[in-house]
Structure 1
Amino acid sequence: MDHFLYRDGVLHAEDVSLPAIAAAVGTPAYVYSAATLLRHYRLFDDALAWGPHLVCYAVKAASNVAILKLLGDAGAGMDVVSEGEYRRARAAGVPGERIVFSGIGKTEGEMRHVLENGVRQINLESEPEMRALSRIAATMGVEVPVTVRVNPDVDARTHEKIATGKAENKFGIPIARARDVYAEIAALPGLRAVGVDVHIGSQLTDLDPFRQAYRKVADLTRALRDDGHAIERLDLGGGLGIPYERSNLAPPVPAEYGEVIRQEVGDLGCEIEIEPGRLIAGNAGILLSRVIYLKHGEGRDFLIVDAAMNDLIRPAMYGAHHDIVPVAEPPAGVDLSPADVVGPVCESGDTFAKARPLPPLDGGDLIAFRGAGAYAAVMASEYNSRPLVPEVLVQGDEWSVIRRRPTWDEMLERESIPDWL
């Protein structure tokens, strides 16, 4: 469920009409619903109410500090994968004890920064990283809570570019080697193993891969406890999918996911951490765009819009589907005609949809790309020297620009010409 609905024939974000936002900030623009963000966070929180837990929002999904503050004030922790994301979470007022630091390529500078400023735990991804963290922690005279991300070699049955739990993926330590790694942690200064971490991928629409992975984590936890390690937490990652295509069956809901967790690891007495991002933010945002031209090609029509692949790269990168809807509600029973929805970037890959059945649209009409709250603004670029587009947060009948569109001068001022040119 989201809070983008038609009212009196016009698509609204909560109680604010999208044409009003377009008139004020221009297009393209990202528009987020606070009510949807909070609803989705609370669904996860409720799904784990059977035991101690912390829902750590995956900052990489949508990292605007206003979104982080909204969720942090509601009680969410944060899962970060870089110093930049850590700084964003702290700027949003999230305390270090609610921030989990993940990611496979943590630099020594990043590790030192989070240790100096507070962190709940660091999820280790490799033995070299483990030894580097031990050396830094020892020189700082601190003890760091850590988990080891294990790779369970489970097929998440998702797109190959967002699968992270198979043996050939770059993430984590093979689960068969985990006991040796935990033994080394116990012998190293500055580290204290507090849990086990696993994350098998993103946009999962089947609970069975989760069940397989968590069963392996449960077996490992018992073995580690037999070895003398005090395993108190299980970081079970995120990855639950969202319904990008409304006509398809909906993926499992957080309550069903929480029940799988309870069944597989609930008897271990561990605090549960999860790291959802896409399901919290994905359907909480749309990309608002305006049609520039309707172009009649050879055997096909092209709907040329002012949004482009640098604003929403998922279709170009993953072949991903996003529902595209007119902001003005079409009449019931209107005839649909296929059109390729494309942007103005000088790439054939700048295509959002091919032969998509759409109601009549023409230059000047507003459209919305649904499901653009996650992995849109955070993956945006200035390709073709197109400015990053504004982000707008709506709450009830109020709205605010939470990232403005830069001016041309601001874009140019970041660059300089050497004196010798």
Structure 2
Amino acid sequence: MDHFDYRAGYLAAENVPIRRIAETVGTPVYVYSTATLERHFRVFAAAVADLGALVCYAVKANGNLAVVRALARLGAGADVVSGGELQTALVAGVPAERIVFSGVGKSEEELAAAISAGVMQINVESEPELRLLNQVALAMGCRAPAAIRVNPDVDAHTHEKISTGLSENKFGIDWTAAPRLYARAAAMPGIRLNGVAVHIGSQLTCVEPFREAFHRVRDLVAMLRADGHSIDTLDLGGGLGIPYGNEDGPLPSPVDYAAAIRHALADLRCQLILEPGRLLVGNAGVLVTRVLYVKEGTARTFVIVDAAMNDLMRPALYDAFHHIVPERQPACGVVPRVVDVVGPICETSDTFAAERPLPPVVAGDLLVIRTAGAYGASMASSYNARPLAAEVMVSGDAFAVVRERETVADLLARQHLPPWFEWPTPATPAATPVAKSATSGADAQP
């Protein structure tokens, strides 16, 4: 369930018409619903309440400060995978003792920042990282709280690019080799090792891979405890899938996910850590874009919009499906046309939908790309010198810009010629006018 519905013939985010946001802020623009964020968190938290689990939002799904703050206000912790995400979580008000630092390639500076901040746990993913963490902690005169991420070699049956739990994936330590590394960690004076972490992938559409992974974790915990290790925390990652609109059947719910955890792990007397990301924010966001042209090709009809793959990478990167709807509610009985919805970037992969039935549209109409709250803005780039889109948050009948739209001037201001070049005359970057599009509002300020 989300809070994007047609009202009086036009799509609204909660009580705010999408058209009003587009007219005020320009397009493309991401729009997030506070009510949907809050509902998704509460539904998930209620499903796992009896497990006493700490729910740490996976910031990589959407690192907008307002999104992280909305969840932190409800008691969410944070799962971070970079120094930047760590700072985002802290600024958003997530207590350090509710932050878990994951990631396969943490730098020395990032490890030091995590220790200095006082995070709950650092999930170590390799023996070299463990040695470095030990060195950093000793240099800082402390012991670093750590868990080792194990790779259970479980097929998550998800897209190959978001699978993380197979032996050929780069993540974690092979679960059969973990006891050896725990023994080495126990001898390191800078490490306080007391947990096991696991994460098998993203957008899982069935519970069985979770069950298999959790049972392997259970066996591992038994072995480690038999070896004399104290295992007090179990970080089970995230990965529960959400509906994008092209699923073959119903997806598992948070209740189903909690039941799998309860069956395998509830009696281990560990602090459980869960890391939902997409599940909380995916359906809470949409990408609003404006039609630039409708181009009649020889074999296809192309609806060319002002959003592009730099704004929403998932279709190009994963062949991902996103439901696309017109902002104006189609009249009853209207006959859809089969079209390709594409962006203006010079790549054939800049395609949001291929051969998709869509109500007829014309230049100037608004389209809304649904379920864009996760891995949308967080994966965006400035490819083709396209400024990052604005981001807006809605609450009831109010909305606010929570990330200002970049301008071309912003992009150029961060670039410099080397001293052996001279600026061409008479123009300079500061004096060169940056055109504003009346159609897209690409450089409009909110």
Q: TM-score, normalised by structure 1?
A: 0.99
**Corresponding residue SS for 1:225:** helix
Q: Deviations over 1:302-323 (max 9, x none)?
A: 0000000000111111100000
User: Counterpart in 2 of 1:240?
Assistant: 240
On the 8 A contact 1:235/1:272 being kept in 2, the answer is: yes
Q: In 2, distance between residues paired with 1:339 and 1:407? A: 31
The 5 Å alignment of 1:74-153 reads 74-153=74-153
Q: Deviations over 1:336-377 (max 9, x none)?
A: 110010000111111111110011111011010001000010
The 5 Å alignment of 1:394-405 reads 394-405=394-405
**Corresponding residue SS for 1:20:** helix
How far off is 1:44 after superposition? Answer: 1.8
Deviates more, 1:102-111 or 1:222-231: 222-231
User: Counterpart in 1 of 2:433?
Assistant: none
How far off is 1:76 after superposition? Answer: 0.2
User: Counterpart in 2 of 1:303?
Assistant: 303
On the 8 A contact 2:246/2:321 being kept in 1, the answer is: no
Q: In 2, distance between residues paired with 1:67 and 1:245? A: 23
User: Counterpart in 2 of 1:372?
Assistant: 372
Residue 338 of structure 1 aligns with an amino acid whose one-letter code is: V
How far off is 1:249 after superposition? Answer: 2.6
User: Counterpart in 2 of 1:10?
Assistant: 10
How far off is 1:416 after superposition? Answer: 1.1
**Corresponding residue SS for 2:251:** coil
**Corresponding residue SS for 2:12:** strand
On the 8 A contact 1:137/1:191 being kept in 2, the answer is: yes
On the 8 A contact 1:52/1:270 being kept in 2, the answer is: no
User: Counterpart in 2 of 1:23?
Assistant: 23
Q: In 1, distance between residues paired with 2:79 and 2:143? A: 20
**Corresponding residue SS for 1:263:** helix
How far off is 1:408 after superposition? Answer: 2.4
Q: In 2, distance between residues paired with 1:297 and 1:137? A: 62
User: Counterpart in 2 of 1:46?
Assistant: 46
User: Counterpart in 2 of 1:37?
Assistant: 37
User: Counterpart in 2 of 1:264?
Assistant: 264
User: Counterpart in 2 of 1:390?
Assistant: 390
Q: In 1, distance between residues paired with 2:151 and 2:246? A: 33
On the 8 A contact 1:236/1:275 being kept in 2, the answer is: yes
User: Counterpart in 2 of 1:220?
Assistant: 220
On the 8 A contact 2:386/2:408 being kept in 1, the answer is: no
The 5 Å alignment of 1:229-378 reads 229-245=229-245, 248-378=248-378
Deviates more, 1:242-251 or 1:139-148: 242-251
The 5 Å alignment of 1:396-415 reads 396-415=396-415
On the 8 A contact 1:135/1:189 being kept in 2, the answer is: no
Q: Deviations over 1:393-418 (max 9, x none)?
A: 01111110000112222221111112
Deviates more, 1:75-84 or 1:109-118: 109-118
**Corresponding residue SS for 2:132:** helix
Q: In 2, distance between residues paired with 1:79 and 1:398? A: 29
Q: TM-score, normalised by structure 2?
A: 0.93
**Corresponding residue SS for 1:176:** coil
On the 8 A contact 2:37/2:284 being kept in 1, the answer is: yes
Confirm or deny that 1:205 pairs with 2:217.
Answer: no
How far off is 1:419 after superposition? Answer: 2.0
Q: In 2, distance between residues paired with 1:52 and 1:242? A: 24
On the 8 A contact 1:243/1:249 being kept in 2, the answer is: no
**Corresponding residue SS for 1:368:** strand
User: Counterpart in 1 of 2:427?
Assistant: none
How far off is 1:144 after superposition? Answer: 1.6
How far off is 1:246 after superposition? Answer: 5.9
Q: In 2, distance between residues paired with 1:375 and 1:250? A: 22
On the 8 A contact 1:138/1:190 being kept in 2, the answer is: yes
- The number of aligned residues is 421
How far off is 1:250 after superposition? Answer: 3.1
Q: In 2, distance between residues paired with 1:181 and 1:416? A: 47
Q: Deviations over 1:180-213 (max 9, x none)?
A: 1111111111211221100000000010000000
How far off is 1:248 after superposition? Answer: 4.5
On the 8 A contact 1:80/1:99 being kept in 2, the answer is: yes
How far off is 1:257 after superposition? Answer: 0.5
How far off is 1:18 after superposition? Answer: 0.1
User: Counterpart in 2 of 1:188?
Assistant: 188
How far off is 1:238 after superposition? Answer: 0.4
How far off is 1:325 after superposition? Answer: 0.2
CA root-mean-square deviation? 1.0
Q: In 1, distance between residues paired with 2:267 and 2:174? A: 24
Q: In 1, distance between residues paired with 2:390 and 2:16? A: 17
How far off is 1:140 after superposition? Answer: 1.1
Structure 2 unaligned spans of 5+: 422-446
Q: Deviations over 1:148-168 (max 9, x none)?
A: 100000000000000000000
How far off is 1:225 after superposition? Answer: 1.1
On the 8 A contact 1:95/1:118 being kept in 2, the answer is: no
How far off is 1:51 after superposition? Answer: 2.4
Q: Deviations over 1:10-60 (max 9, x none)?
A: 101111000000000000000001111111111221111112211100000
On the 8 A contact 2:385/2:408 being kept in 1, the answer is: no
**Corresponding residue SS for 1:347:** coil
Residue 220 of structure 1 aligns with an amino acid whose one-letter code is: L
How far off is 1:299 after superposition? Answer: 2.4
